[in-house]
């Protein structure tokens, strides 16, 4: 029997993406066992004997045991070559990162697609004309395009542009529709020929670093017909913006790959939306896509290297209209994708969309609005001024760098209350607890402060905490292994507390600097808008108790959900709303925090409880 090398680790770390759940496992355990131990609920119809392919997962990095004959049969050469494996068969030989396709999870991820519904008068950028053309004869040999142009000219539309992607099919469409067509124009450009009276649709997309949201909109009445969400597939190549930029620098073709993954996911979402509404790709004649500056650049295929180096400038800040066909988005052949302007390298078009949707940029009141993520963008509107900044709040609220952290997937603890010695929790989907997500850790810390488990500097107090018998390290027990149903305690460590202190400190410092620049006191904030996924689920009282937000009356806070998505939908149906973004960007005073003289002081002050 071969002796194991002494350098072989006894425990192996498995990172399950896109859940963001990391667990340490015994050497020799397969991925299904590891997932079950961690509470990650993979589909496994055959009970783990390799005779179904329901527990398909994909290796992102690290080393697994060679494929078994069961895997050969179930997956085939091509899928194996693409990294697919059966979780019940594959055994990690090193620390590994594993991607779980949505169909292999028993419960779907919670996605953030709800947002404000603001009534906007439709004023779309496309127009359409139903027309009957005269077919060619031996006495009338004009080309198909001349025929179309003449017919439009007869309507008073002179010399329109018809791009190559439209021309590729137009001749066949005209003939198959017996020389009738609803011609759709965008400015002076023909973008598609549809059947007469066919409805016109638009697609709005919010590209988050973690999550995607997509909306299919009726361009004639502005109604949202269907919406869906998905994890950003780029997570497999880097959790945050910085690591994805690094990926594109270190991997040739990495930028193209990240773009392709994103476009593929958006095409998938669009196909789902079209299935729900029984509509055709050609009907989708316009799109608006928002995201932070890095997502914006990766989606459009722009360089991102300079976003990773001081002074962090965007390649493009102006609004763009790019042909959907140029990036592979499956819309009408001549459709465009509108990308609203970016403000700075770390304040992107999604923040602009949020400022637009909340109308705060144009408010007569003093309003502060923020969208919390790995990067938190904050804007303050007051007396006609609009100040914006961005702070590196880190991935702690996404569940990363937290001992038992995970994203807000089923089984994530999202609410925590401490009653004396008792800790009560609530999980996403009321599933058995798997780990703890952003709003849960925020609650936990707030409750720990209130219960005296943490002192004002954030130090865990020995008398309240669980002391690990092995290493003497102090940890706070949220839920013991016996209550979770799997083999791990769910705990909050001293390091976890530190991560949250950095995150909330950065956000609060950003708020303070903006107030200072505007010469305002906390109490002068008349409205405090919290947007975005994490912002929807966090408990405002906890955020105030840990000092992340100033202590305003609770009724001044407004949680608006995915306001960026709402802004994107407004721009989709209204040319006037697009023009408003130019005014927003013109008005913004961008405050660079990294070089601001008071930032470090405010940051240190804001780290305490």
The correct pick among 317, 370, 425, 573 for binding its own copies (CB under 8 A) is 317
Q: Interacting stretch for its own copies, rule CB under 8 A, among 31-39, 316-324, 448-456, 505-513?
A: 316-324
* The binder of its own copies chosen from 127, 143, 221, 600 (CB under 8 A): 143
CB of 319 to its own copies, least distance (A): 11
Q: Which stretch binds its own copies (CB under 8 A): 135-143, 203-211, 219-227, 261-269?
A: 135-143
* Token pair belonging to 502: 């950095």
DSSP summary character for residue 420? T
Give the residue among 464, 559, 458 at the shortest CA–CA distance from 502: 458
**In terms of CB distance, is 221 or 326 closer to its own copies?**
326
Between CA 481 and CA 432 the distance in angstroms is: 11
The answer to the question of residue 150 lying near its own copies (CB under 8 A) is no
Please report whether residue 280 would count as binding its own copies according to CB under 8 A.
no
Min separation Cβ 311 and its own copies, Å:
5
Minimum Å gap between C-beta 137 and its own copies is: 6
Residue 175 binding its own copies, by CB under 8 A: yes
Nearest of 563, 549, 556, 558 to residue 524 by alpha carbon: 556
Question: Which of 261, 267, 314 has its CA nearest to residue 287?
Answer: 267
Q: Does 310 bind its own copies (CB under 8 A)?
A: yes
For the CB of residue 576, give the shortest distance to its own copies in the complex, in Å.
21
Question: Facing residues of 57 across strands?
Answer: 85
As given in the structure block, the two tokens for residue 276 are: 């729900």
CA distances from 38 to 13, 45, 471 (A): 11, 19, 22
Cβ distance to its own copies smaller for residue 223 or 326: 326
Burial class (CB in 10 A: 0-12, 13-18, 19+), 261: middle
What torsion do the CA atoms of 302, 345, 505, 515 make, to the nearest 10 degrees? -150
Q: How far is the CB of 170 from its own copies (least distance, A)?
A: 7
Residue 177 or residue 594: which is nearer to its own copies going by CB? 594
Which string of x and - marks every residue 536-575 that binds its own copies (by CB under 8 A)?
----------------------------------------
Shortest spacing between CB 202 and its own copies, in angstroms: 20
Of 98, 99, 110, 152, nearest in space to 130 by CA: 152
Confirm or reject binding of residue 340 to its own copies (CB under 8 A).
no
Distance CA 562, CA 535 (A): 9
Residue 571: enclosing H or E segment and its boundaries? helix 563-573
Length of the chain in terms of residues written: 609
At residue 114, the 3 state secondary structure works out as: coil
Find the binding residues for its own copies in span 580-609 (CB under 8 A): 590, 592, 594-595
One DSSP character per residue, 283-330 reads GEEEEEEEE-HHHHHHHHT---GGGSSTT---S--S-EEEEHHHHT--
Q: Edge-to-edge strands of the sheet including 557-561?
A: 557-561, 527-531, 367-371, 375-382, 385-392, 588-590
Subset of residues 73 to 112 that bind its own copies, contact rule: CB under 8 A: none
Supply the minimum distance, in Å, between the C-beta of residue 341 and its own copies.
Answer: 9
What part of residues 185-214 is at the interface with its own copies (CB under 8 A)? none
Sheet holding 412-419, edge to edge: 422-427, 412-419, 435-436
Among 305, 424, 495, 541, binds its own copies (CB under 8 A): 305
| CA proximity to 284, closest of 205, 404, 392, 199 | 199
Residue from 150, 221, 326, 608 binding its own copies (CB under 8 A): 326
Shorter beta-carbon distance to its own copies: residue 83 or 163: 163
Structure tokens that stand for 207 in this block? 């590209």
Give, as ranges, the residues between 342 and 371 that touch its own copies (CB under 8 A).
342, 344-345
Tokens 């085939």 belong to residue: 76
The 153-172 contact track toward its own copies, x by CB under 8 A, reads -----------xx-xxxxxx
Q: How far is the CB of 328 from its own copies (least distance, A)?
A: 12
Would the CA dihedral through 438, 554, 536, 605 be positive or negative? negative
Using CB under 8 A as the binding rule, the residues of this chain from 222 to 251 that contact its own copies are: none
Question: Does 301 interact with its own copies (rule: CB under 8 A)?
Answer: yes
d(CA 425, CA 418): 9
CB of 148 to its own copies, least distance (A): 10
For the bound state, the minimum distance from the C-beta of residue 237 to its own copies, rounded and expressed in Å, comes to 19
Considering CB under 8 A, how many residues would be counted as binding its own copies?
A: 46
Q: Is 387 in the site for its own copies (CB under 8 A)?
A: no
Using the rule CB under 8 A, give the single segment among 192-200, 339-347, 349-357, 425-433 that binds its own copies. 339-347
Minimum distance of its own copies from residue 301's CB (angstroms): 5
Contact present, 359 and 203 (Cβ < 8 Å)? no
- In terms of CB distance, is 178 or 221 closer to its own copies? 178
d(CA 595, CA 390) in angstroms, rounded, equals 12
Return residues touching its own copies (CB under 8 A): 136-138, 141-146, 164-165, 167-172, 175, 300-303, 305-306, 310-318, 320, 322-323, 325-327, 342, 344-345, 590, 592, 594-595
């Amino acid at each position: 029997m071969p002796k194991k090398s002494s350098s072989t680790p006894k425990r192996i770390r498995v990172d399950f993406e896109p859940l963001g759940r990391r667990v340490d496992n015994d050497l020799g355990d397969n991925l299904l066992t590891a997932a079950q131990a961690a509470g990650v609920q993979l589909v496994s119809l055959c009970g783990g004997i390799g005779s179904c392919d329901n527990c398909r997962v994909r290796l992102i990095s690290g080393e697994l045991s060679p494929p078994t004959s069961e895997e050969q049969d179930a997956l085939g050469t091509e899928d194996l070559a693409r990294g697919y494996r059966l979780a019940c068969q594959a055994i990690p030989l090193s620390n590994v990162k594993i991607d779980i396709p949505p169909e292999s999870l028993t419960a779907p991820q919670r996605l953030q697609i709800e947002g404000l519904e603001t009534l906007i008068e439709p004023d779309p950028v496309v127009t359409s004309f139903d027309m009957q053309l005269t077919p060619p004869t031996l006495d009338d040999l004009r080309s198909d395009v001349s025929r179309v142009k003449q017919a439009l000219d007869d309507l008073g539309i002179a010399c329109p542009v018809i791009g190559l992607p439209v021309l590729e099919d137009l001749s066949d469409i005209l003939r198959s529709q017996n020389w009738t067509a609803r011609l759709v124009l965008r400015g002076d450009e023909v973008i598609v020929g549809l059947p007469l009276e066919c409805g016109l649709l638009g697609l709005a997309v919010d590209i988050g670093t973690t999550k995607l949201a997509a909306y299919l909109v009726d361009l004639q009445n502005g109604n949202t017909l269907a919406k869906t969400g998905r994890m950003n597939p780029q997570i497999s190549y880097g959790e945050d913006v910085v690591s994805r930029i690094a990926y594109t620098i270190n991997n040739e073709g990495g930028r193209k790959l990240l773009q392709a993954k994103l476009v593929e996911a958006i095409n998938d979402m669009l196909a789902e939306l079209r299935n729900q509404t029984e509509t055709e790709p050609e009907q989708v004649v316009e799109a608006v896509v928002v995201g932070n500056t890095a997502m914006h650049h990766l989606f459009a295929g722009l360089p991102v290297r300079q976003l990773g180096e001081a002074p962090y400038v965007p390649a493009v800040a102006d609004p763009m209209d790019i042909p959907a066909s140029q990036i592979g988005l499956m819309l009408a052949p001549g459709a465009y994708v509108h990308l609203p302007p970016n403000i700075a390298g770390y304040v992107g078009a999604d923040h602009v969309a949020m400022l637009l949707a909340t109308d705060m940029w144009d408010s007569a009141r003093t309003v502060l609005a923020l969208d919390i993520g790995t990067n938190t963008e904050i804007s303050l509107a007051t007396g006609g001024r609009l100040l914006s900044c961005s702070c590196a709040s880190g991935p702690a609220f996404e569940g990363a760098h937290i001992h038992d952290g995970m994203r807000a997937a089923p089984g994530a603890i999202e609410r925590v209350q401490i009653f004396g010695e008792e800790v009560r929790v609530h999980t996403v989907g009321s599933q058995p607890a798997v780990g703890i997500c952003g709003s849960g850790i925020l609650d936990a810390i707030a409750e720990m402060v209130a219960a005296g488990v943490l002192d004002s500097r954030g130090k865990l107090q020995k008398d309240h905490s669980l002391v690990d018998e092995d290493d003497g390290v102090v940890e706070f027990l949220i839920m013991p292994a016996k209550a979770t149903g799997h083999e791990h305690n769910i705990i909050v460590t001293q390091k976890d507390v530190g991560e949250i202190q950095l995150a909330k400190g950065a956000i609060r410092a950003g708020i303070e600097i903006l107030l200072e620049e505007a010469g305002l006191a906390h109490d002068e904030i008349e409205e405090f808008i919290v947007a975005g996924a994490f912002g929807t689920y966090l408990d405002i009282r906890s955020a105030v108790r840990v000092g992340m937000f100033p202590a305003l009356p609770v009724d001044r806070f407004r949680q608006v959900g995915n306001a960026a998505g709402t802004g994107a939908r407004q721009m989709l149906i209204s040319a006037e709303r697009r023009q408003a973004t130019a005014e927003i960007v013109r008005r913004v005073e961008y405050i660079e925090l990294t070089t601001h003289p008071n930032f470090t002081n405010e940051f240190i002050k804001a780290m305490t409880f």
